[in-house]
Structure 1
């Protein structure tokens, strides 16, 4: 598995987003953008206008994670704006297949996210419709939460489902990923890692990204 690191700007300085994105541009693979609407999750962050502005200044592709109600309506616009990846929540989507196909048709990678208590097995048949499966390792809505080890068995099951389907779907984990937890995630089968405080809470975000990548690569080869 090729390890990818997607730092979350939820932990960056919102007044200096372009600069904080630039700080990790030589080390990261993606910029993870958490879009929250204060309805699907109890927090309000940023939306399409900020994404459009970031696209003009980011050397990295944007990995947009939509924690919003009615993603069927709003998700295509993020792909059309130029996001490299757009992920919707299974718990919020009413027409996931149509929406995932629309995201792909607009030129972005399609992602499906599952909350910690949402089983992965019912979505096995959708693996052909997605490019990435995101398993939340905290309850969505806020950064800085403690990693939920209870999700690790689900990560292992998801990796096995992906192997069984003979697909190239990426397996992303988001929430509480740090130098203390990333190895467990990689051992379980994740290959794309979202990290917020573990990157932007350090003096040198780029070096933190490199350290996280090295830890994940060590674990994924053991």
Structure 2
């Protein structure tokens, strides 16, 4: 299991220091949630902030675009140093064209689906994806409760990926904690995004280590 701390839960007043802290604590990936206040009812940060933070770590930047028109900003996030760009099937951009833009920039493409979206939405694009992000909460705010029924999507995707002979990774985001991560691991998740479970812990390294141990 790879652990991707959600920087949405960090202390923004010391953003760079928080990245360094979880890097040293054993984080595998840095998960950065970009929200536009339209696609989801919250605002976070954009490409200029990510570009300034890129030098804080050499760990991959997993940029999750919760925005209405991701195709307009792919070059900005690629220039900022994104290693993975995920965007939502529910967005207003043409999915195939947006994937084209990501691939042309040499960034790893990923698609995300909200809890209410059928997993079938990603299937036409699965062969092109580095990763599928299954939201286990409604996107927009941290600290929500894990939706265990979303694991049905993960199980289905795991089989579909295997049947097609692909290496596509499955990531889940939302409510990952000590009491939920084993459920995600059992379903076949590769990457768990964890916010409060890491940044809210008194010892980030101990928290990350424990999450990994609980995966078995």
Q: TM-score range by the shorter chain?
A: over 0.9
**TM-aligned CA deviation for residue 122 of structure 1:** 3.5
Q: Which residue of structure 2 lines up, in the alignment, with residue 126 of structure 1?
A: 125
TM-score by length of 1: 0.93
Cα shift readout 1:103-139 (whole Å, capped 9, x = no counterpart): 1221211110000011112321211111000000000
Q: Which residue of structure 2 lines up, in the alignment, with residue 18 of structure 1?
A: 16
Are the structure 2 counterparts of residues 93 and 112 from structure 1 closer, same or farther at C-alpha, using a change threshold of 3 Å? farther
Matches within 5 A, 1:164-179: 164-179=163-178
Looking at structure 2, the residues matched to 37 and 123 of structure 1 have their Cα atoms a distance apart, in angstroms, of 22
Contact map agreement 1:33 1:64 (CA 8 A) in 2: yes
For the aligned residue pairs, the C-alpha RMSD in angstroms reads 1.1
SS of residue paired to 2:73: helix
Looking at structure 1, the residues matched to 67 and 50 of structure 2 have their Cα atoms a distance apart, in angstroms, of 15
Looking at structure 2, the residues matched to 108 and 214 of structure 1 have their Cα atoms a distance apart, in angstroms, of 31
Looking at structure 2, the residues matched to 93 and 84 of structure 1 have their Cα atoms a distance apart, in angstroms, of 23
Cα shift readout 1:85-108 (whole Å, capped 9, x = no counterpart): 110101004311121122122121
Q: Which residue of structure 2 lines up, in the alignment, with residue 86 of structure 1?
A: 85
Cα shift readout 1:16-63 (whole Å, capped 9, x = no counterpart): 111111111130111100101110000111111110011022232211
Looking at structure 2, the residues matched to 136 and 197 of structure 1 have their Cα atoms a distance apart, in angstroms, of 16
Q: Which residue of structure 1 lines up, in the alignment, with residue 53 of structure 2?
A: 54
Looking at structure 2, the residues matched to 65 and 206 of structure 1 have their Cα atoms a distance apart, in angstroms, of 24
Contact map agreement 1:97 1:129 (CA 8 A) in 2: no
Looking at structure 2, the residues matched to 123 and 11 of structure 1 have their Cα atoms a distance apart, in angstroms, of 28
Q: Which residue of structure 2 lines up, in the alignment, with residue 67 of structure 1?
A: 66
Q: Which residue of structure 1 lines up, in the alignment, with residue 2 of structure 2?
A: 4
**TM-aligned CA deviation for residue 209 of structure 1:** 1.3
Looking at structure 2, the residues matched to 213 and 93 of structure 1 have their Cα atoms a distance apart, in angstroms, of 36
Contact map agreement 2:51 2:79 (CA 8 A) in 1: no
**TM-aligned CA deviation for residue 190 of structure 1:** 0.7
Paired residues, number:
215
SS of residue paired to 2:85: strand
SS of residue paired to 1:34: strand
**TM-aligned CA deviation for residue 75 of structure 1:** 2.5
Contact map agreement 1:11 1:196 (CA 8 A) in 2: yes
Contact map agreement 1:182 1:215 (CA 8 A) in 2: yes
Q: Which residue of structure 2 lines up, in the alignment, with residue 112 of structure 1?
A: 111
Contact map agreement 1:72 1:93 (CA 8 A) in 2: no
Segments ≥4 residues shifted beyond 6 Å: none
